[in-house]
Structure 1
């Protein structure tokens, strides 16, 4: 039933931009008269967590009109990706820039880095490619390397293993992680996302407010990374704010 409501809830709004809680519940009961008020509240809470409904003010609901996540593919990023893709065209990989995360944060980070995620068997090959043009490549760095070198560098290129079946997208012919992947990785990779750990709830809330988020895709990846409990806890936190 929740999937049916997810697919049809927008029809209750018609041409209206928003409905009061009572108006929305009344409309739902016309189609589903057997539902209890508690059950409807549970469904409305799920739709809020999924980013389908938003609360612009207390007791008011609106349908979310959000953008897809399209980060800027800067020329240096594209150049690095093309070097790898040309040398290893059949290897799965993605690339991203830590600057993308600044738009979700209260406090902007000044140290930036590029991250390449690639099949584990090809990590050494990618590392060698990076070393041909940069002295700041780091292969799967540990906490000590992050603390000693990466946090003090503006040019770090980090090579990490790509989790199998990770959700990826293509932007300007460059393979990048989806927003769903980046959010779950923030919960899992505390060294890589050290600058974001202090405001994860704000980052998640901002991401859900600004962009379309595929919660099914996010849940699947969270399960693969053994972070489903942390994700559910985070969604509960931001839905309560």
Structure 2
């Protein structure tokens, strides 16, 4: 890698600069390889970012070193309570849980409402729905809410809980013994379920994508595989092109 990427020379050239533009990087590599195509430059930037040699400051601007880190969301007491309830009631149930409050780290504006989501394996949704009604008597619990239900009831409920079907082979991980979605799943679901996540669409969704990729390690293969399962790869790819094109290589 060092021979292809000229890492030592790269660091020597730009070590006294706070930031380096994509044009400066392009000219640096053109000095080494005059016929270097732009597509190769994007791939190199992506690889340098993965190796913690470069990190993205904003579109077209980078700096030496990396602040990209592994994502570990906060597991609230409520999420622990819901998980414990489901684990006690359904011994072998496969599900994941998360809150839209987690998106606050990536948004520009503060949503007025938040909700909790439980994605559970196929054919268990109704049983999980009735189980969770026991611990959510004072706030709404919704089962695969329709567009009409989202607009009429979800927005007026205080901290609603949404039970949905878990897509097979969803990218999940365990944090503090609680199974939660990986960032790649959240990114795709925000695109695929635009009615449910209507508060996070448009420019806000671009902010979310940009901030996630800049702050955390996103696995492109995982993102693509899950988005293909949801038939949303073209849409996801377009968001990446607009916000973080270098991840596409």
SS for the counterpart of 1:111 is coil
- Structure 2 residue aligned with 1:210: 215
Alignment TM-score, normalising by the size of structure 1 = 0.83
Give a deviation string over 1:165-210, Cα, whole Å, max 9, x none. 0100111110000011101111100122110003211111111111
Cα pair distance change 1:164/1:240, threshold 3 Å: closer
Alignment of 1:46-65 (within 5 A): 46=43, 48=45, 52=50, 53-56=54-57, 62-65=64-67
- Structure 2 residue aligned with 1:37: 36
Cα pair distance change 1:129/1:229, threshold 3 Å: same
- Structure 2 residue aligned with 1:112: 114
Q: Which runs of 5+ in 1 are unaligned?
A: none
Q: Which runs of 5+ in 2 are unaligned?
A: none
CA distance in 1, matches of 2:99, 2:61: 39
CA distance in 1, matches of 2:173, 2:160: 23
Alignment TM-score, normalising by the size of structure 2 = 0.81
Aligned-pair Cα RMSD in Å? 2.9
Select which of 220, 224, 233 maps to 1:228.
233
Conservation of the 8 A alpha-carbon contact between 1:168 and 1:178: yes
Cα pair distance change 1:97/1:26, threshold 3 Å: same
Select which of 167, 171, 174 maps to 1:170.
174
Select which of 144, 147, 164 maps to 2:148.
144
Q: Number of matched residues?
A: 229
Cα pair distance change 1:47/1:26, threshold 3 Å: closer
SS for the counterpart of 2:124 is helix
